[in-house]
Chain A
Amino acid sequence: MLKRLLHNKMAMVCVGFILMIVLLGLLAPVLAPHDPYYNNILNKFQAPSLEYPLGTDNLGRCVFSRMLYGVRPTLFLSFLTMAGTIGLGLLMGLLAGYLKGKVDEVIMRIIDIMLSFPSQIMVLAVIALLGVNIQNVIIANVFIKWAWYARMIRTSVVQYTDSGFILFAKSIGHNTPYILWHHMLPCIASELVVLASLDMGWAILNISTLSFLGLGVQAPIPEWGAMLSEAKNVMASRPEQMLVPGVSLMLLVAAFNMLGDCLRDVMDPKEARS
């Protein structure tokens, strides 16, 4: 499987691109030519130059530095969101699928209710409830997304529960957590990876949207959505301010989406041919 993935050029390009972005984010303090918070109003709206590779914004801050630092909240928050979502989804899905009976019934009803709300509304409701805060953005995103994972995982678990190797593991006396971890998880891992990489793009977009609306990462912190929100105010006179954060977002999300598609093809060669 890994071999097939390594042979998939497109997947490797995406992985390379994402790793590069991660590296840029990690090395931001070294690579950034200026302090992303340092403003110099006399220097505003500079055209790209050697000193300011992508020009300066409405407060004279270096756009290139801000873009580099913007990688950090974007990727970090989306990563946390996905980790939380998969963690909770995995727990609930495994419990529901493996224990069956009453536990399954209760968890599935909760999932049904969770899935009856369009995600956008739920995120807003949770943020309204808990207050505008970065940490609450993550909680809200996990809160609305886990049900999808739980349902998918439950379906696969139910499918494998009666298969030979699980029954064998049971009969030689392995305990439930061991079986779930060592036998069940590897079976559903591939599906999980595909879904997660597709949803990584979703998480990035969602977090940036909230920041754009002023409900996520707040203004002075360099974040792409928040940068776009600032750029919006000077749209008529300086439209080029929208370019850098917008394109960065699009490329990153596109890379994750493409990677998800490639992974799906690799995992399931039947799909790839259609």
Chain B
Amino acid sequence: MRYYIIKRMLATVPLLLGITFLCFVFIDLIPSDPAEVVLRVRQIAIITEADIAQMRADLGLDDPFFVRYFRWLGDCLQGNLGISYVNPTRTVVGELARCLPATLQLAGLSLVFVIILSLPIGILSAVYKDSWFDRIIRGIVFLTTAMPVYWAGLLLMWLLAIKLSLLPTSGSGGFQHLLMPAFTVSLTYISTYIRLIRNNILENMKQDYVLYANARGLSQRSILFNHILKNSLQSCITAIGMSIPQLISGTIVVENVFAWPGVGQLCITSIFNRDYPIIQAYVLLVGVLFVVFNLIFDIIQMAADPRLRKELG
């Protein structure tokens, strides 16, 4: 087990290096000279050759590629991701730190929604398979997977904020402002996981151990809670856990619909402003989160499931 964990952790190192490399190459692939972009987005009226040369020197663009990559990587490890192109007084880390809490709140609450809604609904629709409840849920799941997230958000906004005036339309503030965007983010994931949990439980119900439990004359309730759920929830929880980074990145669209001041909105603004370092840092952040969460939940699954451990020998 310890051997597995160490091996798994070592395997992520090249992956992380690959991610950082891709993020670094990202700025290098800009069709124009970054130094010129910096001067342009800062709206300097007359750009001379000397200015560009000066800016190139400031950004360290004159050094060879790999020198720059390793310098950048070293800076990253020390938590220095450079400064914003648009506003030289702001650091990229500062900008991300300013916006990240709002996004984490949003992602956190949607995770809560995902868990408290998809688990019971998924379980119920598996247990009462083909009942009217299951049919309705399947219909809703089918529709929500076909719905554009932003449209669902707009409809919710219209219904709850404009028509019924229950919640504020958009912007940030208290908990009330958070409810609607968080629910919108969670919508797609809820339908995915209802499906996953339902199918997983149905799959488990066909296993021999359920037949055996039935033969032993255990009550249906006991079979469901002590045997089936124990088995299937494990893999479902892992799947939900692995999707946390996706949840965080999934907030981009919703943040823009509800004017929620998080990283997603920062990212879109940066795209329009050509503020590349911020986009680069965001991509890096999410990529690393993705790998780390995968690692953590892989190990958790391994620890929780004896069958997987046995396969390793």
- How far is the CB of B231 from the nearest CB of chain A, in Å? 17
B133 at the interface (CB under 8 A from A): no
Q: Is A22 an interface residue (CB 8 A)?
A: no
Bound together, the chains give a CA A208 to CA B146 distance in angstroms of: 12
From B151, B249, B256, B272, give the contact of A250 (CB < 8 A): B151
Q: How far is the CA of A132 from the CA of B245 in the complex (A)?
A: 25
Interface secondary structure of A, over-half rule: helix
Q: Chain B's nearest CB lies how many Å from the CB of A64?
A: 19
Contact A129 B26 (CB under 8 A): yes
Would you call B124 an interface residue if the criterion is a C-beta within 8 Å of the partner chain's C-beta atoms? no
Contact of B22 among A113, A213, A246, A249 (CB under 8 A): A113
Judge if B65 is at the interface, Cβ distance under 8 Å.
no
- Asked if B18 is an interface residue, CB under 8 A from chain A, the answer is yes
The reply to whether A118 and B151 contact each other, CB–CB distance below 8 Å, is: no
**How far is B280's CA from A70's CA once the two chains are assembled, in angstroms?**
33
Flag whether B268 is at the interface (Cβ < 8 A).
yes
Per-residue interface assignment for chain A, residues 36 to 53, with 1 indicating a CB less than 8 Å from any chain B CB and 0 otherwise: 000000000000000000
Most B-side CB within 10 Å, residue of A120, A121, A228? A121
The answer to the question of A12 belonging to the interface, with a C-beta cut-off of 8 Å to chain B, is no
Residues on A with C-beta less than 8 A from B286 are: 117-118, 121
Interface residues on B, range: 35 or more
Question: CB within 8 Å of B: which of A93-113?
Answer: 109, 112-113
Please give, as numbers and ranges, the residues of chain B lying within 8 Å of A251 by CB-CB distance.
Answer: 146
* A30 interfacial contact with B, CB 8 Å: no
Q: Is the CB of B31 within 8 A of A120?
A: no
Q: How far is the CA of A232 from the CA of B246 in the complex (A)?
A: 26
Q: When the two chains form their complex, are residues A257 and B142 in contact, meaning their CB atoms are under 8 A apart?
A: yes
Q: Are B253 and A213 interface neighbours, CB within 8 A?
A: yes
Whether the Cβ atoms of B253 and A124 lie closer than 8 Å is no
**Which chain B residues border A208 with CB–CB below 8 Å?**
148
**Residue interface bits B171-192, CB-to-A below 8 A is 1, else 0:** 0000000000000000000000
A274 to B205, CA, bound (A): 11
| Complex: chain B residue closest to A258, CB-CB | B142
Whether B148 pairs with A125 at a CB distance below 8 angstroms is no
Instruction: Tell me the complex Cα distance, A258–B143, Å.
Output: 10
Residues 119-144 (chain A) with a chain B CB within 8 angstroms = 120-122, 124-125, 127-132
Contact A239 B270 (CB under 8 A): no
- Per the bound structure, the CA–CA distance linking A212 and B154 in Å amounts to 12
Bound: A201/B286 CA distance, A: 25
Interface of B, helix, strand, loop or mixed by DSSP:
helix
Contact between A242 and B151 (Cβ–Cβ < 8 Å)? yes
Whether B26 contacts A125 by the Cβ 8 Å rule is: yes
CB A226 to nearest CB in B, in angstroms, measures 12
CB pair A124 B279 closer than 8 Å: yes
The interface bits of chain A over 192-228 (1 if a CB of B lies within 8 angstroms of the residue's CB, else 0) are 0000000001000100110011110000000001001
Bits for B8-43, please: 1 = Cβ < 8 Å to A, else 0.
000000110011001000100111000000000000
Chain B CB within 10 Å — which of A209, A249, A251, A258 has the most?
A209
- The interface size of chain A toward B, counting residues with CB under 8 Å, comes to 42
Closest partner residue, chain A, to B163 (CB atom): A239
Q: Given known contacts A116-B287, A209-B149, is B252 in contact with A125 (CB within 8 Å)?
A: no
Q: A254 interface residue, CB < 8 Å from B?
A: yes
Q: How far is the CA of A131 from the CA of B279 in the complex (A)?
A: 13
User: Is the C-beta of B203 less than 8 angstroms from some C-beta in chain A?
Assistant: yes
Let me know if A242 and B154 touch, CB within 8 A.
Answer: yes
Q: Does A235 contact B (CB under 8 A)?
A: yes
Kindly list chain A residues whose C-beta atoms are within 8 Å of the C-beta of B250: 118, 120
Q: Mark B118-147, 1 if CB is under 8 A from A, else 0.
A: 000000000000000000000000110111
Distance in angstroms from B156 CB to nearest chain A CB is 11
**CB pair B282 A121 closer than 8 Å:** yes
Judged by a CB distance under 8 angstroms, whether B236 is at the interface is: no
Contact (A125, B283) CB under 8 Å given A201-B146, A246-B155, A250-B143:
yes
For the complex formed, measure the closest distance between the CB of A127 and the CB atoms of chain B, giving whole angstroms.
Answer: 7
A236 at the interface (CB under 8 A from B): yes
Contacts A117-B283, A125-B283, A253-B147 known; list 20 others, CB within 8 Å: A109-B14, A113-B15, A113-B18, A116-B290, A117-B286, A121-B252, A129-B29, A130-B31, A209-B253, A235-B154, A239-B158, A242-B158, A250-B146, A250-B147, A250-B151, A253-B146, A254-B142, A257-B146, A258-B142, A274-B203
- Could you list which residues of chain B lie within 8 angstroms of chain A, going by C-beta atoms? 14-15, 18-19, 22, 26, 29-31, 142-143, 145-151, 154-155, 157-158, 162, 199, 202-203, 206, 245-246, 249-250, 252-253, 256-257, 267-268, 270-272, 274, 276, 279-280, 282-283, 286-287, 290-291, 294
A-B contact pairs, 14 of them (CB 8 A): A116-B19, A117-B19, A118-B245, A124-B279, A128-B274, A129-B30, A209-B149, A225-B148, A228-B150, A246-B151, A250-B143, A254-B146, A257-B145, A274-B203
